[in-house]
Amino acid sequence: MKITKDLYQGSLALLTDFYQLTMAYAYWKSGKAEQEAVFNLFFRKHPFQGGFTVAAGLDYAIDYCKNFKFEEADIQYLASMKAKDGEHLFDPAFLDYLARMKFSCDIDAVEEGTVVFPNSPMIRVKGPLIQCQLLETPLLNIFNFQTLIATKAARINLAAKGEPVLEFGLRRAQGIDGALAASRASYIGGCSSTSNVMAGKLFGIPVSGTHAHSWIMSFESELEAFEAYADAFPDQCVFLVDTYDTLKGVKNAIKVGNALRAQGKEMLGIRIDSGDLAYFSNKAREMLDEAGFPDAVIVASNDLDEHIITSLKGQEASINVWGVGTKLVTAFDQPALGAVYKLSAIRADDGTYVPKLKISQQSLKINIPGIHNVKRYFSKGKAVADMIYLEGQEINPKGIIIIDPMDNTRRKRIMPYFYQEEILLKPIFKKGKPIYKSPSLESIRNRTKNQLESLDKTHKRMVNPHLYPVGLEESLHQLRTELVLKAQQIESNDAK
């Protein structure tokens, strides 16, 4: 198989879990396929024990929905499936229905680069039940990963305190798709560049990189290797100095730097990829400054993350640029975001939408019913609270109370006329037609920066961050409580 040709060309409608197709068939067979429904995609807990999450993946989702269809090869594959009795699993009439189905959902979503919080919808899908159901797996696949990586990148960049962070993770990423999506999400999260050349081509992300230890080792001496590299790239020399002896490597870099200067060129800096980064960077800084290279940067790599960078900062390491790979693109300390996709309303025969609720012994897993949105309140440019509310619900302009969906003792009064506000779910598709103009990746990256600046510094602490207020508007909280009690009563009666 030619993987890149055969695996990724054409329709991606079968990029789903099998039970989505069995449910789709059952919806069709029971006459519910075209019944209107509303689903929400959200997560229940911030990743990395943090105080914020950065939304990413919307552009991928838009592209997926634009091209959502079952092609002939998909239908043929489904037609080949057999039940345990040897009969065809799917009725040919159902497969014909899939072949003719056109995407017709409304989609509203938070924009990429938006800071988001647990239990708030990141994306809302409204449309025929069968289509909403079939979108669950691909949307979760897209948003779970890219949001996770964008958040990790944002945390690493906060730790770097404005110094450039270079994403070096291609060789350690989870496959081709994982590498490309991770490079894009890392840039959204604040990284300055990527080593991934294909990501540079596809997304317009700046690319960076110099040479590896193998380059040094291919020559008789380190000095000869530096000289050859300077001859090839006299305007972009960053020398990797730790192949043999780090401090001798710095001396050799200075020698070649002086030779470059004699030619009217300038050495950009050095990179240290092993050892005691605080000690070696400080010694290297002293040597470079004494040799007349105060502007030469010191790049550090070697399994860095936000915690190691914070530690190195605390040790006053002389590092200007941070190369981060494995622990960023694999989200090393948390492999998944854990976002979920839940039914929140279904349209009755009279045209009204009936709120739907999943109850659980774990309060964390009780979803929010109805067709709801999120409103963020700002004071003097700072985000102060998010309110989850039912669309169409009248909001008291004189004052509202929001109630934490996980702890109804946590409440906050908001006086709307004192604040600026933003509705977070933006229209993306209307009846299957795209109506949202995707911003440039650079604009998305800037949005992340602005969003993080709008958060109080206490919400951005790496350890024990302060909890940002997110709550249900009172009437939505009351509806949710009533539905929980009603469902529990029904369950209790059924058990008798």
Give the span between the Cα atoms of 402 and 471, in whole angstroms. 5
**Residue holding tokens 């290797």?**
225
What is the DSSP code (8-state) at residue 275? S
Q: Give the pLDDT score at 362.
A: 67
Residue 271 lies in a domain: yes
DSSP conformation letters of 198-231: HHHHHH---B-----HHHHHTSSSHHHHHHHHHH
Q: Give the residue numbers spanning the domain of 264.
A: 157-329
DSSP H or E stretch at residue 439:
none
The C-alpha atoms of residue 81 and residue 60 are separated, in whole angstroms, by 30
* Parts of the chain with a pLDDT under 70: 1-9, 361-362, 490-496
Strand, coil or helix: 304 = coil
Residue 255 inside a domain? The answer is: yes
According to the 3-state scheme, what is the secondary structure of 344-363?
A: EEEECCCCCEEECCCCCCCH
- CATH number, domain of 259, equals 3.20.20.70
Q: Which residues contact 63 (CB under 8 A, 6 or more apart)?
A: none
Residue 367 lies in a domain: no
Specify if 17 maps to a domain.
no
The C-alpha atoms of residue 269 and residue 291 are separated, in whole angstroms, by 13
Query: Is residue 212 domain-resident?
Result: yes
Of 159, 81, 94, the C-alpha closest to 452 is 159
Give the C-alpha separation, 401 to 98, whole Å.
46
Query: What are the start-end ranges of the E strands in 14-143?
Result: 36-42, 53-54, 106-109, 115-116, 123-128
Backbone angles phi, psi at 402, to 5 degrees: -105, 145
Identify whether 274 is part of a domain: yes
> Is residue 467, in this structure, part of any structural domain at all?
no
Residue 320 within a domain: yes
Which residues lie across from 109 on neighbouring strands? 123, 426
Best CA proximity match to 105, nearest among 82, 85, 129: 129
Question: Residue 490 has what pLDDT?
Answer: 67
> What is residue 146's predicted lDDT score, i.e. its pLDDT?
98
For residues 231 and 214, give the distance between their C-alpha atoms in angstroms, rounded to a whole number.
18
Residue the block writes with tokens 């795209």? 434
Q: How many domains does the structure of the chain reveal? A: 1
Separation between Cα atoms, residue 329 and residue 174, nearest integer Å: 8
Pair 107, 131: CB distance under 8 Å: no
Q: What are phi and psi of 386, to 5 degrees?
A: -115, 135
Q: Distances in Å between the alpha carbon of 281 and those of 178, 208, 315?
A: 32, 21, 11
- E strands, 305-458, are 321-324, 340-347, 353-355, 372-379, 382-390, 400-403, 411-414, 420-423, 426-430, 433-434
Contact 105, 36 (CB under 8 A): no
The number of CA neighbours under 13 Å toward the Cβ of 277 is 28
Distance CA 47, CA 408 (A): 23
- What is the β-pairing status of strands 193-194 and 165-167? parallel
| Residue 472, burial from CB neighbour count under 10 angstroms (0-12, 13-18, 19+) | buried
